[in-house]
Amino acid sequence: LKSALFTGVKIFTGKEIIKKGFILIENGVIKKVGVGRADWHVGKQVDNFQSFENKNFMFIPGFVNAHAHSGMAFLRGAGGDRTFEEWLFKEITPREAKLDAEAVYISAILSQMEMARNGITAFCDMYFHSDQICKAVSEFGMRASITRGLLDKGGENGRLEENLKLFDHWNNAGNGLIKVGFGPHSPYMCSREYLKLIAKTALELNSFVNIHIRESEKEKEMYSIEELADTGIFNVRCLVAHGVYIKEKEMDILNKDTVHIIHNPSSNLILANGIAPIPQFRRKGINTALGTDSVASNNTLDIWREMLLSALIHKGNLKDPTVISASDAFEMATLGGAQALGFEDTGLIGEGYKADLALINLDSSHYFPENDLISNLVYSGRSSDVIGTMVEGEWIYYFGKYPKIDERKVIKKAKEKFQQLFC
């Protein structure tokens, strides 16, 4: 598609609502957004003209899943209702040892199918066999920031070398749709020297770091935020997943333009790790974004649920209904994520922005009446309202279909692979 004109459609640009307007896309970039019927196009040559005049459809900026492990699709539901340590070391790690390159590739396609169906246009990933994830992303057509999970406790085993190869081969692939960064798993899996080397490498390559920090309460005793700052990881763009146990004083260390906090409310709740102090991070002016984490600790890649939870749990937790508003939650799910991933020309619908969009069907009783459309989206909306998801002007999901892949073939291959590995 790449170029198109959509008219007769509602638009929530991320800043304002246009009750009836149009979006003109040229070469994957939004050329014009406006109010009214786009009469200027009459008599002119326009590619792919589509009117939604008789529908109640709305374009919104595509959602960003800023923390995911897309290679874990085969582990959905494994080890539920366990403690964090039992879940990670007794249930997840042994299963992960069985995953081969093909399993990770199929998982990454399945995960993108699930994300696209939920209106997600971009995600940030940490896993292994990351070359397979890049391959799956380039075929499916999503925007993604991909990192190789790194750890040196128990031996480095050339993972950083592998991450560097991944960078050389895949960074900026697909005309910049794919960015490669570095994924030190966590401060308890990585030595300080190793983190230093990773930070230096990422900085030199103008890349980024993706790390889990203070996910569980135990980590408070395991390392300090000060010593992490000394490694330099916060001097390069750094996606900090979780940040559940970070005190006010430590937030000041993280209060830099380079640091982005990724809130994963479902994962933190399901593993009983607690509730991250997201309102406090936001009050400091630190960018916050949303992530689903993997299907092994969620167990969906449904960003709508994360958006709803992030708008609900802090109100209850702090007994204050104003701490995270519906538009705050929506912003975290879109623009906040786009900024964390470093895709500066995404996250909003506006001239010059990439056409990364989700199309929502508002023709449902749960959207009536439209007293407040943002409130409706966050508190009443659900992922099944998504009818189309577009990355750079190309549909990756449209009316129940995935234009770029053979869905039936993927499901068949996934079933066979699961049988082979786990049954």
| Beta carbon nearer to Ni ion, 293 or 306 | 293
What's the closest the beta carbon of residue 423 comes to Ni ion, in angstroms? 26
| CB closer to Ni ion out of 180 and 295 | 295
**Is the CB of 112 or the CB of 294 nearer to Ni ion?**
294
Comparing CB distances to Ni ion, the nearer of 223 and 398 is 223
Nearer to Ni ion, 215 or 328 (CB): 215
Give the nearer residue to Ni ion in terms of CB position, either 28 or 336. 336
Interface with Ni ion: number of residues (CB under 5 A): 1
Min. distance of Cβ 11 from Ni ion in angstroms? 33
How near is the Cβ of 262 to Ni ion at its closest, in Å? Answer: 9
Segment lying near Ni ion (by CB under 5 A), choices 142-150, 293-301, 327-335, 364-372: 293-301
End-to-end CA distance of the chain: 42
User: 259, 284 in Cβ contact below 8 A?
Assistant: no
- Which stretch, 48-56, 249-257, 285-293, 410-418, contacts Ni ion (CB under 5 A)? 285-293
User: How many whole angstroms separate alpha carbon 60 and alpha carbon 83?
Assistant: 37
Stretch that binds Ni ion, among 28-36, 85-93, 289-297, 326-334 (CB under 5 A): 289-297
From 20-28, 171-179, 290-298, 366-374, give the range in contact with Ni ion by CB under 5 A: 290-298
Contact range with Ni ion by CB under 5 A, out of 33-41, 143-151, 287-295, 317-325: 287-295
Closest distance of CB 241 from Ni ion, Å: 5
Residues 147 and 212: their CA atoms lie apart, in Å, by: 12
Closest CA to 337 of 318, 310, 314, 362: 310
Backbone CA torsion sign across 134, 136, 141, 142: negative
CA torsion sign for 95, 101, 103, 107 is positive
Stretch that binds Ni ion, among 25-33, 72-80, 286-294, 314-322 (CB under 5 A): 286-294
Q: What DSSP string runs through 29-77?
A: EEEEEEES--GGGTTS--TTEEE-TTS-EEEEEPEEEEEE-GGGGGGTT
* 152 near Ni ion, judged by CB under 5 A: no
For residues 25 and 3, the answer to whether their CB atoms sit within 8 Å is: yes
For Ni ion, which is the closer residue by CB, 250 or 293? Answer: 293
Q: How far is Cα 220 from Cα 346, in angstroms, rounded to an integer?
A: 35
Q: How many CB atoms lie within 10 A of CB 287?
A: 21
From the list 381, 378, 403, 376, the residue with the least C-alpha distance to 390 is 403
Q: What single string gives the DSSP state of each residue in 320-353?
A: -TTSS-HHHHHHIIIIIHHHHTT-TT-SS-STTS
CB 178, CB 144: distance < 8 Å: yes
> Which amino acid belongs to residue 406?
D
- Comparing every residue's Cβ against Ni ion, the nearest one is 293
Q: Give the nearest distance from C-beta 123 to Ni ion in angstroms.
A: 12
Rounded least distance, CB 126 to Ni ion, Å:
6
Is residue 293 close enough to count as binding Ni ion by CB under 5 A? yes
Smallest gap from residue 68 Cβ to Ni ion (A): 8
Mark the segment that binds Ni ion (CB under 5 A) among 152-160, 185-193, 225-233, 291-299: 291-299
Distances (CA, A) of 217 to 53, 84, 223, 227, 351: 52, 10, 11, 18, 44
- Minimum gap (Å) between residue 13 Cβ and Ni ion: 31
Q: How far is the CB of 302 from Ni ion (least distance, A)?
A: 16
Q: What is the DSSP string of 161-193?
A: HHHHHHHHHHTTHHHHTEEEEEEE--TTTS-HH
Q: Quick one: 219 or 293, whose CB is closer to Ni ion?
A: 293
Q: Does 215 bind Ni ion (CB under 5 A)?
A: no
Q: Which residues bind Ni ion (CB under 5 A)?
A: 293
